[in-house]
Structures are given as structure tokens and as C-alpha cells.
């Protein structure tokens, strides 16, 4: 279970980012993934694993709770972002931004969860550090305006995406998320503690 102090810290962080006018897409994605992976890493502790094994839950139910919790965390943060953005900037959260946050979080988690079940989330942390290092190196040496290019691409995607395209994207992401869910169940059921 996520600690109340961590949740309060995250809420204060979101409000601070809203005052700084940081992209709601960035805030929603980062906070949702960070909360989900923090909960995941807490559950990896030996004492928690023993507790989970002693409870009358199947491994399938334990994995399913992670995938459902991710959606709940994301919706929780979207509600907070919506309220904070409206209170601070008097602008509502656009539905395409909402769609993008949920889609990106589900897609990222679709790769992070099976990896974390197969190995450990600490290895994912190492990989994440390496990827960010490579990203910053690419910005420094090869593509200095990479952040601007990504921002422009996302703005264009949100501006030109129509409902049929978004429905196709949603279906593809739901399929990937479902396959990831089933893969994580298979990995966790075969895991020996």
C-alpha cells in the first residue's frame, strides 16, 4: 500500500508543477508511473512477498491488482491535475490531453511490469538511468533541440488526431496492455520465492 506521506508529497509536487506551468502531459505520466513503480518496489520486499503468499489471493489476482491500481493512480492524478490546472490557470484539461496521459501510462507500464516481474524493479531503475543518460547525451552531442522536436510532435499529434485515429490508438494500446497483463501473470505464476 502506498504510504500517506508519499501520496501527500506527490500531491504537493503536482501543485508545484502546476504553478510552474509544466506540461500536464509530463506531470500526469511521470507521477502515475512513479507511484505505480514505487508500489511495485515496496511489494518486492521479502516480507511483503511472504505476506502476499500467505493471503488467500492467487498470483493472478496479485498481478491483476497491479494493473488495475495503475489505472486508478492515473485517474486519481488526472483528477488532481484537472482541479489544480483549473484553480491555478483557469483552464480545463482537454480531453485529448487526458487520452494522451492514460495511453502513454498504459503503454509504458505494458513494458515495465513484465520486465519488473521477470527481473526486479531495481534493474528497471538501472535501465531507466541508462536510457536517460543516453537521452541527455544525444541532446548534448547530436540533437540539441530534441526536446523541442518531441514537444512539437506531441502538439501536432494532439492537434491533428481525430476520433477514428484515437479509437484505433486506444484499441492498439488496450491490446498491448492486455497482452502485457497476461504475460505478467504467466511470469509471476512461474516465479519461485
User: Which residue range forms the structural domain that includes residue 166?
Assistant: 4-189
pLDDT in tens, 148-172: 888 888 888 888 878 888 899 999 9
pTM of the model: 0.85
Contact in structure between 117 and 124 (CB atoms under 8 Å): no
Give residue 41's pLDDT. Answer: 82
Contact in structure between 28 and 103 (CB atoms under 8 Å): no
* Cell numbers linked to 192: 519461485
Q: In whole angstroms, what is the distance from residue 77 CA to residue 33 CA?
A: 11
- Helices 121-141 and 24-43: crossing angle in degrees, nearest 10, is 150
Mean pLDDT of the 104-122 span: 91
Q: How confident is the model at residue 19 (pLDDT cuts 50, 70, 90)?
A: confident
**pLDDT(12) > 90:** no
**pLDDT(26) > 90:** no
Lowest mean pLDDT among 14-28, 72-86, 98-112: 14-28
Average pLDDT over the chain reads: 86
The position carrying cell 487520452 is 99
* Cell numbers linked to 174: 488496450
pLDDT in tens, 45-66: 777 777 777 778 888 998 999 9
As a whole-number percent, the residues of the chain with pLDDT over 90 amount to: 33
> What is the count of structural domains for the chain?
1
Amino acid at each position: 500500500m502506498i504510504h500517506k506521506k508519499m501520496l501527500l508529497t506527490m500531491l504537493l509536487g503536482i501543485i508545484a508543477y502546476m504553478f510552474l506551468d509544466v506540461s500536464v502531459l509530463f506531470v500526469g505520466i511521470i507521477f502515475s508511473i512513479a507511484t505505480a513503480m514505487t508500489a511495485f518496489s515496496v511489494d518486492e520486499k521479502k516480507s511483503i512477498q511472504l505476506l502476499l503468499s500467505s493471503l488467500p489471493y492467487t498470483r493472478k489476482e496479485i498481478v491483476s491488482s497491479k494493473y488495475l491500481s495503475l489505472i486508478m493512480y492515473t485517474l486519481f492524478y488526472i483528477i488532481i491535475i484537472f482541479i489544480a490546472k483549473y484553480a491555478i490557470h483557469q483552464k480545463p484539461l482537454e480531453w485529448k490531453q487526458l487520452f494522451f496521459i492514460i495511453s502513454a501510462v498504459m503503454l509504458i507500464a505494458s513494458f515495465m511490469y513484465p520486465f519488473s516481474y521477470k527481473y526486479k524493479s531495481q534493474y528497471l531503475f538501472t535501465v531507466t538511468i541508462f536510457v536517460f543518460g543516453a537521452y541527455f547525451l544525444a541532446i548534448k552531442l547530436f540533437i540539441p533541440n530534441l526536446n523541442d522536436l518531441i514537444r512539437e510532435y506531441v502538439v501536432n499529434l494532439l492537434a491533428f488526431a481525430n476520433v477514428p485515429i484515437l479509437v484505433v490508438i486506444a484499441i492498439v494500446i488496450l491490446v498491448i496492455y492486455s497482452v502485457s497483463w497476461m504475460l505478467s501473470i504467466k511470469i509471476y505464476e512461474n516465479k519461485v520465492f
